[in-house]
């Protein structure tokens, strides 16, 4: 069905057993977020908060908390949208299978935005920022945030809905130096469409008109996070996924979603920024306070019986993991068509998506040679690092399809083993230094700036991977070590101080390990860490620790390392220093007192009993 509103979606979820109601008053200061996190962890239902302290508006969260519920919400349109996206990648499919794709022209009509005529619900009421559910998610957050905002802008050179951008960029409603009710923070990261629009408005010396939609049909929310192929509008995608044309109106020079629950309109003026943050983000750390665009509020609209949707991000997996899973389900078939030779790609959720990418490509360049080395894989890797948001990848592991045709990138442990069995550290490391990385990645001291490394491996296995701790006499400053994974050792050292002193220490460590290189032959990877037991506890801990905290150019070392004609490599184990650094953002921790209140809600007789 095509939901006409957020209320219609909530009613449908409740009718089908996918939603619970919390009737007692709940505090938006940390408690609502902690309830959400606990219910999501239990793979529980969507949550409707009837009575939000300090606001007359109810709220809902965990709408997309499981892939199954996301599929349920879009059950009537999902298959058709997959076919539409597939056709975008290869239109000849429709010619080959015309009956299978017969419904697409009718779905395409629903994808066209439509201007509302007559009374528009969103224009019925106005309010102030202070009246909204001001939800603070993590203890060190700088204030209250909108975490499911649909941020709409238009091209200043070519205004209109068909030249618009609709993205999800976090919005800070309170705190810091923002003037209450008049100013809010607009945080967007690099490689986002809104940046192009702001640059064009700045060049014209004009303010950028911004509309923030909250709520409305759930297809609008999903459309805002969808990384669409070039030339496919977020509005048209939202219409197709919702089975209902995106309806809009205009007021005071702004475009408004006619079916949103809330719309905040305002302007971003050239060179007017204010500090935004901190904010507990999806890598599992706080993104810190930095200057970002300042949005001056014009008006806050809401419809009758408006519902405020929100989510909570943190160390994966969280609700945005389901977004990612559904995005892959919809678009996974077209990315290989966009990049010749690429078969599969996985932005690894456990590492916060952008820090780690697994890929499988073809290696056809020299089939006549018996000795294999990466060639076509490097061409594919360069293409990946220039393609959309995949360009933000920091560690890219890429293998050859021909070496194991059954291997899949989403079987993460098997893929990692495959790479470690085959990698040759003397040739397979390819660095980019002083380049752009994800805004939320604090492995470097500089915002948006760091390094990347491509690890490309082909051919037959070069080693079997060790699974038991080898008998190595470590230098005295090693506090302990564990076999963290097949072929991976986790070595615990003291807290990182600074690169000058730590480089000397790492030189001493690698020199001592060089004497034991025979014992390391089955351990191609060593992780230097703060807590070897934590890293070794499970694969998720290993991936999160190793790839969110390391800056390749600064934190990769090697046993028997060398530089040859500007190429760096090592003849024995590769070492990644994944300790927390002085410039690292703090990791997320819940408030113990708030957690006790959630425990009480889950106890016998509590509103969450049987759920958590």
- Before 178, cis peptide (omega within 30)? no
Read off the pLDDT of each residue in 383-399 and give the average, rounded to a whole number.
92
Residue 35 token pair: 């309830």
Residue 267 token pair: 């302007």
pLDDT of residue 135: 98
pLDDT in tens, 264-276: 999 999 989 999 9
DSSP codes of every residue in 155-184: -SSS-SGGGEEEE---EE-SSTTPPTTTEE
Give the whole-angstrom CA distance, residue 339 versus residue 248: 35
pLDDT of residue 438: 87
Yes or no: say if 512 and 247 are a contact pair by the CB < 8 Å rule.
no
Radius of gyration of the chain (CA): 25
Read off the pLDDT of each residue in 481-489 and give the average, rounded to a whole number.
98
Read off the pLDDT of each residue in 280-301 and give the average, rounded to a whole number.
96
Give the whole-angstrom CA distance, residue 212 versus residue 262: 8
Residue 497 token pair: 């101080």
Identical fold at 6-73+112-310 and 335-457?
no
Q: Name which of 448, 452, 497, 77 is nearest 292 in CA terms.
A: 448
Give the Å distances, CA to CA, from 453 to 30, 198, 384, 549, 564.
38, 31, 12, 14, 17
pLDDT of residue 93: 47
Taken in order 280, 284, 289, 295, is the CA torsion positive or negative?
A: negative
53-90 CB burial, b ≥16 within 10 A, e <16: eebebbbbbbbbbbbebbeebbeebbebbbbbbbbbee
Q: Which of 62-76, 325-339, 417-431, 573-587 shows the lowest mean pLDDT across its residues?
A: 325-339
Give the whole-angstrom CA distance, residue 599 versus residue 577: 37
DSSP codes of every residue in 379-434: HHHHHHTTSGGGGG-SEEEEEEGGG-TT--TTSHHHHHHHHHHH--TTTSEEEEEE
- Before 317, cis peptide (omega within 30)? yes
Q: Is the pLDDT of residue 301 over 70?
A: yes
pLDDT band at 448 (very low <50, low <70, confident <90, very high): confident
Q: Where are the domains of the chain?
A: 6-73+112-310, 335-457, 480-577
| Residues with Cβ within 8 Å of residue 297, at least 6 apart in sequence | 129, 181, 182, 183, 184, 264, 265, 266
Provide the mean pLDDT of the chain.
Answer: 92
Q: Which of 42-46, 103-107, 204-208 shows the lowest mean pLDDT across its residues?
A: 103-107
Residue 11 token pair: 């009613």
Query: Beta strand 449-457 with 429-436: parallel, antiparallel or unpaired?
Result: antiparallel
Q: Name which of 244, 326, 289, 285 is nearest 69 in CA terms.
A: 326
Query: Beta strand 247-251 with 114-115: parallel, antiparallel or unpaired?
Result: parallel
Give the homologous superfamily in CATH for domain 6-73+112-310: Electron Transport, Fmn-binding Protein; Chain A (2.30.110.10)
Of the CA atoms within 13 Å of residue 592, those in its CB half-sphere come to: 0
Whole-number percent of the chain with pLDDT over 90: 78
Give the Å distances, CA to CA, from 360 to 137, 150, 176, 330, 338.
37, 33, 45, 19, 14
Query: Beta strand 395-400 with 356-361: parallel, antiparallel or unpaired?
Result: parallel
pLDDT of residue 371: 66
Q: Is the pLDDT of residue 92 over 60?
A: no
pLDDT in tens, 155-203: 888 888 888 889 999 999 999 999 999 999 999 876 677 888 999 999 9
291-313 CB burial, b ≥16 within 10 A, e <16: ebbbbebbbbbbbeebbbbbbbb
pLDDT of residue 106: 47
Strand partners, 449: 436
pLDDT of residue 153: 94
pLDDT of residue 91: 45
pLDDT in tens, 105-161: 545 556 789 999 988 999 999 999 999 999 999 999 999 999 999 999 998 888 888
Give the whole-angstrom CA distance, residue 32 versus residue 55: 13
- For 116, other C-beta atoms within 10 Å of its C-beta total 17
Q: Is the pLDDT of residue 316 over 50?
A: yes
pLDDT of residue 94: 41
Residue 469 token pair: 């701790």
pLDDT in tens, 393-403: 999 999 999 99
pLDDT in tens, 498-522: 999 999 999 999 999 999 888 999 9
DSSP codes of every residue in 293-337: EEEEEEEEEE-TT--EEE----SSSSHHHHHHHHHHHHHTTTHHH
Q: Name which of 439, 130, 144, 424 is nearest 283 in CA terms.
A: 439
Instruction: Give the 3-state secondary structure of residue 19.
Output: strand
Residue 356 token pair: 């780690």
pLDDT of residue 88: 60
Read off the pLDDT of each residue in 546-570 and give the average, rounded to a whole number.
97
Give the whole-angstrom CA distance, residue 28 versus residue 542: 33
564: exposed, middle or buried (Cβ count in 10 Å: 0-12, 13-18, 19+):
exposed
Element (H, E) at 376: helix 376-384
- For 163, other C-beta atoms within 10 Å of its C-beta total 14
Place of tokens 């390990």: 513
Q: Is the pLDDT of residue 363 over 90?
A: yes
Q: Which of 133-147, 189-203, 375-389, 592-606 shows the lowest mean pLDDT across its residues?
A: 189-203
**DSSP code of 289?**
-
Give the whole-angstrom CA distance, residue 462 versus residue 521: 10
pLDDT of residue 99: 44
Element (H, E) at 152: strand 150-154
Residue 42 token pair: 């239990």
Give the whole-angstrom CA distance, residue 308 versus residue 47: 12
- For 252, other C-beta atoms within 10 Å of its C-beta total 9
Give the homologous superfamily in CATH for domain 335-457: UbiD C-terminal domain-like (3.40.1670.10)
Read off the pLDDT of each residue in 23-32 and give the average, rounded to a whole number.
97
Q: Is the pLDDT of residue 590 over 90?
A: yes
pLDDT band at 584 (very low <50, low <70, confident <90, very high): very high
Give the Å distances, CA to CA, from 208 to 157, 189, 263.
11, 17, 16
Place of tokens 């590492």: 351
């Amino acid at each position: 069905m095509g939901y006409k509103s957020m209320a219609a979606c909530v009613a449908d979820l409740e009718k089908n057993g996918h939603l619970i109601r919390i009737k007692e008053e709940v505090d938006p200061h940390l408690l609502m977020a902690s309830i959400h996190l606990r219910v999501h962890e239990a793979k529980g239902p969507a949550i409707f908060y009837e009575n939000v302290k300090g606001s007359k508006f109810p709220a809902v969260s965990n709408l997309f908390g499981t892939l199954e519920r996301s599929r349920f919400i879009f059950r009537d349109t999902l298959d058709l949208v997959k076919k539409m996206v597939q056709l975008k990648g290869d239109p000849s499919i429709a010619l080959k299978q015309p009956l299978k794709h017969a419904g697409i022209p009718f779905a395409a009509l629903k994808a066209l935005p439509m201007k509302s005529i007559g009374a528009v619900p969103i224009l019925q009421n106005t309010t102030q920022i202070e009246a909204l559910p001001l939800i603070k998610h993590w203890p060190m957050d700088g204030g209250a945030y909108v975490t499911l905002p649909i941020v709409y802008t238009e091209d200043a050179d070519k205004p209109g809905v068909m030249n618009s951008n609709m993205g999800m960029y976090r919005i800070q409603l309170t705190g810091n130096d923002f003037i209450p009710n008049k100013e809010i923070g607009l945080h967007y990261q690099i490689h986002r469409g809104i940046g192009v629009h702001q640059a064009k408005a700045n060049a014209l010396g004009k303010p950028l008109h911004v509309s923030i939609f909250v709520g409305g049909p759930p297809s609008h929310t999903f459309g805002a996070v969808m990384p669409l192929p070039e030339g496919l509008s977020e509005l048209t995608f939202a219409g197709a996924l919702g089975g209902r044309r995106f309806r809009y109106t205009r007021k005071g020079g702004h475009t408004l979603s006619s079916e949103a629950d809330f719309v905040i309109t305002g302007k971003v003026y050239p060179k007017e920024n204010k500090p935004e943050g901190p904010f507990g983000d999806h890598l599992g750390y706080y993104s810190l306070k930095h200057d970002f665009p300042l949005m001056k509020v014009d008006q806050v609209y809401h419809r009758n019986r408006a519902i405020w949707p929100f989510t909570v991000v943190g160390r994966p997996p969280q609700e945005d993991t389901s977004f990612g899973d559904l995005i892959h389900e919809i678009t996974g078939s077209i990315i290989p068509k966009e990049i010749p030779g690429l078969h599969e790609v996985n932005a690894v959720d456990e590492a916060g998506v952008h820090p780690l990418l697994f890929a499988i490509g073809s290696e056809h360049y020299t089939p006549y040679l018996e000795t294999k080395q990466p060639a076509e894989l490097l061409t594919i890797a360069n293409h990946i690092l220039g393609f959309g948001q995949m360009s933000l990848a920091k560690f890219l592991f890429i293998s050859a399809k021909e070496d194991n045709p059954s291997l899949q990138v989403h079987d993460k442990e098997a893929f990692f083993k495959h790479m470690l069995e085959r990698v040759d550290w003397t040739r397979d490391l390819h660095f980019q230094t002083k380049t752009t990385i994800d805004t939320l990645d604090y492995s470097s001291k500089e915002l948006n700036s760091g390094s990347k490394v491509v690890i490309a491996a082909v051919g037959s296995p070069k080693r079997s991977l060790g699974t038991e701790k080898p008998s190595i006499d470590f230098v005295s400053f090693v506090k302990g070590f564990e076999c963290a994974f097949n072929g991976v050792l986790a070595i615990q050292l003291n807290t990182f101080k600074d690169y000058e002193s730590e480089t000397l220490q790492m030189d001493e460590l690698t020199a001592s390990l060089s004497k034991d290189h025979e014992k390391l032959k089955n351990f191609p990877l060593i992780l230097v860490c703060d807590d070897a037991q934590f890293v070794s506890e499970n694969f998720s801990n290993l991936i999160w620790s190793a790839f969110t905290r390391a800056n390749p150019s600064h934190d990769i070392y090697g046993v028997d390392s060398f530089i040859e004609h500007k190429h760096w490599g090592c003849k024995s184990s590769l070492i990644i220093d994944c300790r927390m650094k002085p410039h690292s953002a703090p990791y997320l921790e819940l408030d113990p007192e708030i957690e006790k209140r959630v425990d009480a809600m889950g106890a016998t007789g509590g509103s969450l009993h049987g759920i958590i």
